Chains A and B, each alone.
Chain A
Amino acid sequence: MIWQIDLSILSLVVLCAFATIMVKDLLSAAIIFGAYSFLMCLLWTEMGAVDVAFTEASVGAGVSTILFIAAAYQTTRIVKARRRGRLASKIIGLGAAVIMGLVLLAAEANFPGFADPNSPASLHVSPYYITQTLADTAVPNMVTSVLADYRGFDTMFETAVIFTAGLAVIAILRRVKRSDLCELPEPYTISAGYEDTIIRFVSRQLVPFMQLFALYVVAHGHHSPGGGFQGGVILGASFILLAITYDMQFVQQRMSEKWNILLGNIGVLIYAGIGFLCLLLGANFLDYSILSKILPATDKIMARSHGMLGIEIGVAIAVMAIVITIYLNLSSHGKLDKGL
């Protein structure tokens, strides 16, 4: 914590937030929002929350920016100023924001200081995680063990939430029959018939490295920042890169819609299935230590480590498939023919 750096990053964050609201062009707003996410990522790195920073960099700055741009591309790019009720809504909005801010400021006085060892959060379970993680689970990165083992239920339902988001996007946007198609304005043309040898060549060379790095992030999440969510998002982003530089068919030949939905299901199934396997073997749901009965040459501690690896793989598969599905549906308005 160096307060000068914190202060400069925080003021830039506030500037970016204002710029995102003020800009009338939605594409610019999405890009500024990406910059905002990168600044938040820097802030979190500076506070020592490297796993959160990694998630923010891959999800917040990377994929969600692309999803915003795809949505803006399919709808409209310029915000029209509303004439009627403008002043009243502004006053109401300002009042709500000011009251909310005052409430937060009042509550802030009672907050413990940053990294205060006597704060309630640091007294209750944190000391246990910090001292016992390595002995309990043989995983040096305690964020991973808290996420995937001690609080496995939470993460399982997070994966289910992402899966549900994918289902919702398919249910709302995907149009199979011609009669389902509604009238839409023509998408804003960024450039017509875009084909570029340099861009295609470089992204073709980069994609294998991206996917290798994603697998490293998934598998190495026990020892370094990273894990299923980040790795899955990077895997999905590599396919999105191909979908942007080539076209949608190129990706669909490799990852068809059917496979995406199937993989999304399989990912959640792996997670819940490992939990259910523990139940079958006679322990609690998601209590991986019982897996030592069926895994060869593992004691109870290593079984917890391996169980975590299994569910991280499930999370990565689910997140990858859902990210690809959401992008393909958003950028082609559910027709899956051509996108950005």
Chain B
Amino acid sequence: MNIVIICLVVSGLFFFFATTVGLLRFPDFYSRMHAAGKGDTLSSLLMLGGLALYEFHEINIATILVGAKILLIVVFIFMASPTATHAITDAGFESGVKPWQKEKTEEQG
């Protein structure tokens, strides 16, 4: 049980780290939003899932309620976070942010 929880939380941390690296290193607005939307959602699922499992260490009505609330948070993050990412990306597209293209760098080089 503990091993599963540690695996979940650590992999969640890894994906959060990957998200941060992606946000800082990717070349343009769209790829950054891609990193933020995907990594954030997955890592919050992993970490909160791990925390919910941790609550189920001893089964009684209180821990089940807390675990169920954490899982509900996961459900709402899964609905809200991709939608927010979509909204920001779409707003960027509407206001004419140009995607990054590889040819440009080749011309320079």
Contact = CB atoms under 8 A, between A and B. Distances in A.
A284 B53 CA distance: 51
B86 A198 contact: yes
B62 interface: no
Given A198-B86, A199-B86, A190 B91 contact: yes
Contacts of A8: none
Nearest to A202: B83
A195 to B, nearest CB: 11
Contacts of B87: 196, 199
Interface string B87-109: 10011001100000000000000
A209 B76 contact: yes
A194 B87 CA distance: 10
A67 to B, nearest CB: 19
A199 B86 CA distance: 8
Given A196-B87, A199-B87, A206 B76 contact: yes
B5 to A, nearest CB: 21
A192 B86 contact: no
Given A206-B76, A209-B76, A198 B83 contact: yes
B79 A205 contact: yes
A292 to B, nearest CB: 31
A11 interface: no
A192 B94 contact: yes
Contacts of B79: 202, 205-206
A196 B88 CA distance: 12
A253 to B, nearest CB: 23
- Choose among B80, B87, B95 the residue with the greatest number of A CB atoms under 10 Å from its CB: B87
Given A196-B87, A196-B90, A202 B95 contact: no
Contact of A191 (B76, B80, B83, B91): B91
A206 B94 CA distance: 25
Nearest to B90: A196
B80 to A, nearest CB: 7
Interface in A238-269: none
Contact of B80 (A190, A194, A206): A206
Contacts of B90: 191, 196, 199
Contacts of B95: 189-191
A209 B95 CA distance: 32
Interface in A193-215: 194, 196, 198-199, 202-203, 205-206, 209
A190 B95 CA distance: 7
A149 to B, nearest CB: 27
Contacts of B94: 191-192, 194
Contacts of A199: 83, 86-87, 90
A209 B78 CA distance: 14
B19 to A, nearest CB: 16
Contacts of A205: 79
Contacts of B91: 190-191, 194
A66 to B, nearest CB: 14
A27 to B, nearest CB: 12
- The 10 tightest CB contacts between A and B, nearest first, are A191-B94, A202-B83, A199-B87, A191-B91, A198-B86, A202-B79, A191-B95, A199-B83, A196-B90, A206-B79
Given A198-B83, A198-B86, A199-B86, 8 more contacts: A190-B91, A191-B90, A194-B91, A194-B94, A196-B87, A196-B90, A199-B90, A202-B79
26 contacts: A189-B95, A190-B91, A190-B95, A191-B90, A191-B91, A191-B94, A191-B95, A192-B94, A194-B91, A194-B94, A196-B87, A196-B90, A198-B83, A198-B86, A199-B83, A199-B86, A199-B87, A199-B90, A202-B79, A202-B83, A203-B83, A205-B79, A206-B76, A206-B79, A206-B80, A209-B76
